[in-house]
Amino acid sequence: MDTYDLITRNAEEVVTEEEVRELADDPDGKRVYVGYEPSGVLHLGHLLTANKLIDLQEAGMEVVVLLADVHAYLNDKGTFEEIRETAEQMKAQFIAYGLEEENTEFVYGSEFQLDEEYTLDLQELQVSTTLNRAQRAMAEIQGGETAKVSHVVYPLMQTLDIEYLDLDLAVGGLDQRKVHMLAREELPELGYDVRPALHTPIVADLTSGEGKMSSSEGVTISMEDSTEDLEEKVNSAFCPPTRDPEDDLENPVLELFEYHVFPRFDEIVVERPEQYGGDLTYEEYESLATDLESGELHPADAKGTLATYLDELIAPGRKKLREIRD
Ligand code: IYR
């Protein structure tokens, strides 16, 4: 796969293609990051961007994971102490999941976001950004909560992180796009460079195929799940073999294959007894999706296979989490 394709595979949006192509021409040592608010345990939402970081490491880039403790605090995720403890656990799970420890820089937001220079830049951004603009940037991250002053400071700090961590590329889920757009507009106001951004898709809710899979509502899959939990959740997932053009429901089973399984395994084997046609082997997502649609692959077999591969993916993180907790 060529470097640009590796960098952008499974991305929903690339801002801008031209800027990312330039990075792909000389990726060695380029710094890229994702920031995570430490909260709960790692779930598939976190792992979607983590997969992208693994691709970027493979492309030769330096990966920075921001454990955004101050952001989590501004977003009311607990006491500072609780947030720090969760961040430590997240870091251990990311490494267990497959981020190369020697090529990944883990940084706490509080290590640099409370410095004088950063704080003064933040004040300047507060002067130059309208309340309305900051609120719009934050809408998707904040969810339905009533806006607090902290919610408008948050995207301005996320903007500055890109400069202060000396990054060449910002990565995030599609829910981060408005913050990244704000950053592209505001950084030059402070005399800093504009940086490109890459956005991963948002996976639909497992049981309905609507909205997004999240830890706060509906069913999500996390590193806390046992093999049995996983089987149960995947087996009850929404998995229509063909898309109904009348609705915009997604097939979350296919999405999980596309975004989580295929990027991490070279081939996928669907085990079937001889009487049902024997095993099927797939090297790429498209062939599996085609077989599901044509009826060659039964949804029950697709789900069983998905549960097995997801289990393998989360097993190291699950083990780590249990060790930490014991
Ligand atoms: N807004 C992210 C957390 C976050 C991301 C980055 I990239 C930052 O520089 C700071 C915070 C979230 O919604 O989890």
Closest C-alpha to ligand 1, atom 6: 35
Instruction: Quote the CA–CA distance of 279 and 297 in Å, as a whole number.
Output: 10
Q: Is 215 marked within a binding site?
A: yes
Residues with CB under 6 A from ligand 1: 34-37, 66, 68, 71, 141, 158, 161, 170, 172, 176
Do residues 62 and 30 make contact, with C-beta atoms less than 8 angstroms apart? yes
Closest C-alpha to ligand 1, atom 9: 158
Q: CATH number of 227-325: 1.20.810.10, 1.10.3720.10, 1.10.240.10, 2.60.40.10?
A: 1.10.240.10
ipTM of the complex: 0.97
Distances (CA, A) of 110 to 83, 114, 120, 172, 303: 11, 6, 15, 20, 42
Q: Closest ligand 1 atom to the C-alpha of 71?
A: 11
What's residue 232's pLDDT?
A: 95
Distances (CA, A) of 109 to 33, 47, 74, 118, 267: 12, 20, 12, 11, 38
Q: Closest ligand 1 atom to the C-alpha of 34?
A: 7
What 3-state class would DSSP assign to 62?
A: strand
Do residues 39 and 23 make contact, with C-beta atoms less than 8 angstroms apart? no
Residue 281 CA to ligand 1 centre (angstroms): 38
What's residue 183's pLDDT?
A: 98
Closest C-alpha to ligand 1, atom 13: 141
What's residue 248's pLDDT?
A: 77
Beta bridge partners of 13: 199
Q: Is 123 marked within a binding site?
A: no
Phi/psi of residue 35, nearest 5 degrees: -110, 140
Residue 159 CA to ligand 1 centre (angstroms): 10
Q: Is 158 marked within a binding site?
A: yes
What's residue 102's pLDDT?
A: 87
Digitized pLDDT (tens) for each residue of the chain, 326 residues in all: 899 999 999 999 999 999 999 999 999 999 999 999 998 889 998 999 999 999 999 999 999 999 999 999 999 999 999 999 999 999 999 999 999 888 899 999 999 999 999 999 999 999 999 999 999 999 999 877 889 999 999 999 999 999 999 999 999 999 999 999 999 999 999 999 999 999 999 888 888 877 777 655 567 899 999 999 999 999 999 999 887 777 778 899 999 999 999 999 999 999 999 999 999 999 999 999 999 999 999 999 999 999 999 999 999 999 999 998 88
The ranges of the chain annotated as CATH 1.10.240.10 are 227-325
Q: Kindly report the CATH number that applies to the domain delimited by 3-200.
A: 3.40.50.620
Q: Is 33 marked within a binding site?
A: yes
Residue 295 CA to ligand 1 centre (angstroms): 41
The ranges of the chain annotated as CATH 3.40.50.620 are 3-200
Residue 169 CA to ligand 1 centre (angstroms): 14
Residue 286 CA to ligand 1 centre (angstroms): 32
What's residue 194's pLDDT?
A: 98
